[in-house]
Structure 1
Amino acid sequence: MGLKKFFIKIRWDLFNVCFRWVPINKNKIVIDNFFGKGYGGNPKYIVEKMFIENPNVDVIWVINNTVDKTLFPPQVKLVKFNSIRAIFEFSTAHIWIDNVKNNYKGKKRKGQFYIQTWHGGIGFKKVEKESIETLSKEYIKESKYDSKQIDLMISNSRWVSKNYRDNFWYNGKILETGLPRNDIFFMNSNNIKNKVKKFFRVNGDIVLYAPTFRNYLSIDSQVELFKINGEKIVEELYKKFGKKYTLIIRAHPNIAKDFNLKENQFLKNGSDYPDMQELLVASDVLITDFSSSVFDFMLKSSRIFLFAKDYRDYIENEREMKINPQKDLPFSFATSEKKLLNDINNFNQKEMDRKVEMFNNKMGIKDDGKSSQRVANLLNKELKGSNV
């Protein structure tokens, strides 16, 4: 454990003991989205539904220093991540909502309820226990400790539920509610599309390129790897679909702040946009490598193209794949821009729609636009004192 992390944990344990003498606020929820990243993920959509039926619920959201506070609803109270105030809120809240497994929150008290929404659904990579050889002893210890405290995990499919049970060191309750963040794909999308286009100052349609993080490469090497000829891509898409496109690249959160991209009329940097789901909704086409965004985007469209120039190096140096992108999915897979352009040209909409439907049935996908309501209902029930 690093020295900084060690002292943070000591501070949590010390103040957690002090605050345990303060009664639990039965109407309070405290939320973390990916270590204080901001207003997004499954927690965002759960809270918005909860406010509709329970506008007086006390919602605390922990944030880091880079977050745009203006994006939060006015009734959400913001607290600095890992601050003494944050420790107080976690120590005295009735409900915890989180979407990562190694965020230390101290020891849960009797009467507190912890729901883990996780930050992915179906995914390419092996995670948690299944990739144990790539994880640090510290992470494994943190994840096991977190799992012991969880009261409920939510899932959107048979596949995800099995993955939780097999690999998350978790024996508690799992509900296949669907993923709240995916409700957005079943709503009227015009307002979201207009919002995203206004943010990036683009006309026409959007093709989103969302490559995943590489542990085996430096940030500079990843920036170089993710370079793509936006002009050629949008030109080929125009030929295929008859639409004018702008290509938006969204880097993984781990490198987003260091991902400097030279923009032009064909290419925009989408790494700072706060809500990935809104980007997916606003996009007409998705290009990615091993991102679980594939399994979200296919709820609205089959216009998905897999592209990884470093596929062989990735397999040798990164985590082992649980889903083989070349064999297990209905989408085309390219390791060069030339092949990607050819895949766009050969795309068959009708055939791909059929294949995606078969894949969804095979995985047991439960997303239907009502996930947020289901989770909000059960959490409101918990706040009222009924067991979930």
Structure 2
Amino acid sequence: MRFGIRRNLQKMKWNIFGAIFRRFKIQDNKIVVDNFFGRGYGDNPKYIVDKILSEKPETTIVWLVDKYTDTSLFPKEIRLVKINSVRSIYEYATAKVWIDNIKNNYKGCKRDGQFYLQTWHGGVSLKKVEKAVENHLSADYVQASKKDSKLIDAMISNSKWQTNDYRKNFWYDGPIYEVGLPRNDIFFGDNQKIINKVKSFFNIADYSKIILYAPTFRNNKSIEEQQKMYTVDGEKISNICTDKFNSDYIFIKRVHPNIASNFKVDETDKIKDGNSYPDMQELLVAADILITDFSSSIFDFMLKSSRIFLYGTDYDDYLKNDRGLNFDIKKDLPFSFANTEAELLANIKNFDEKEENIKIENTKSLLGLSDDGTASKKTSAFLIQKMYN
């Protein structure tokens, strides 16, 4: 009851102040950005904004933040505004462009002349999403997502596969541009500065390499259950990787943003809390090995490496009781899958990199991937034309 009252009061505030602020002129050079309900400077919006600021530094960027956001990590050119504040309502009402990567953030009424780019927060999706799992989603979410789709002017995609998924499952029939994902541009070119940045953040020695363990969340499990489910022996895994790949390894554990704020990682010299780092793509770039369960990060990481290992103790339960998968993980994908930690260690020992590289190239072709390192450039050029035409 309290949640319902709070939500209704929030919408009432948006309606009242939105009606006032829509009397103000739309600012052609202003963009308002949301990343995961006010999270930090990351995902597709970050890379689009970086490119726009390099091409048109006079552009006004407003980034919505929540109370947990580390504001010190933002470029000084960006104006930070608290999400769902009165000020944020003004910014939405007067910005020429909206950029968002989720579909259930209430934005009020879009005006004639405003342009809304939905980047989403995934590419090829291992998990089923949106309409494909409508019966697993709350009625509030489905309603919000459908309403959001009516506001969208364009979406971006990184593959034939993703475009088809948008058409089928996102309640959306507008323009889709297969330019690639801006966040994946990071995998193309010299990444040593990013690797150094990540290692410096976690105080990791130059000679050490990184194992990134990034499990996704479970809709039907409590935080306590997921905490237990994602408990692995990071030091043992690091030692096995050292024997296999002849390097020293540090184990970074990062869970999905949906549960990160309530998730505890016990750090040691060899184990680090990846949730403290704002940009998942930079972690993927810095990592030498990726271990996950049903996360679509595998389709990003395979742009740079085949050292991917899938591990989930609840495979059958996930298929039956959670969202389900778009692929038969044991037949359609080139990666090994382990149900137990012992199987994971064995898969690492038996890994054949040459064979895995061939399988991954075939998978890229089947998916019709369009990532080539130019997505940010193409997307920013498109938005700049909308603003400065």
Give the Å deviation of 1:107.
Answer: 0.9
**Is the contact made by 1:124 and 1:324 (CA closer than 8 Å) also made in structure 2?**
no
Q: What code does the residue aligned with 2:327 have? A: I
Structure-to-structure mapping, 1:1-388, within 5 angstroms: 2-203=4-205, 204-385=208-389
Q: Kindly indicate whether the alpha-carbon contact (under 8 Å) linking 1:126 and 1:319 is maintained by their aligned counterparts in 2.
A: yes
Runs of 4 or more consecutive aligned structure 1 residues displaced over 6 Å after TM superposition: none
| 1:10 CA drift (Å) | 1.6
Q: Which amino acid aligns with 1:299?
A: L
Which letter does structure 1 place at the counterpart of 2:298? V
CA offset digits 1:148-196 (Å, max 9, x no partner)? 1100000000000000011100010000010000000003111111111
Contact 1:256 1:272 in 2 (8 A): no
Q: CA RMSD in A?
A: 1.0
Distance in 1 (CA, whole Å) between partners of 2:220 and 2:140 is 19
Contact 1:25 1:92 in 2 (8 A): yes
- 1:361-382 CA-partner distances (Å, limit 9, x unpaired): 1000000111100001000101
Q: Check whether the contact 1:129–1:167 (CA below 8 A) recurs between aligned residues.
A: yes
Identify unmatched segments of 5+ residues in structure 2. Answer: none
- 1:67-122 CA deviation, whole Å, 9 max, x = no partner? 11111111100000000000000001000000001111011000000000000111
| Counterpart code for 1:272 | S
Distance in 1 of aligned mates of 2:258 and 2:196: 28
- CA–CA separation in structure 2 for the residues paired with 1:202 and 1:97: 34
| More moved, 83-92 vs 305-314 | 305-314
> How far apart, CA to CA, are the structure 1 residues paired with 2:4 and 2:219?
18
Q: Greater CA deviation, 87-96 or 219-228?
A: 219-228
Measure the CA separation in 2 of the matches of 1:144 and 1:260. 34
Q: Distance in 1 between matches of 2:367 and 2:335?
A: 15
CA positional deviation for 1:2? 2.7
Change (3 A) 1:2 1:326: farther
Mapped to 2, the partners of 1:44 and 1:382 lie a distance apart of 19
Q: Is contact 1:257-1:272 (8 Å) kept? A: no
Counterpart CA distance in 2 for 1:343 and 1:134 is 33
What stretches of structure 1 of length at least 5 have no aligned partner? none
Describe the SS at the equivalent of 2:62: strand
Match of 2:261, SS?
Answer: helix
Distance in 2, Cα, partners of 1:322 & 1:3: 37
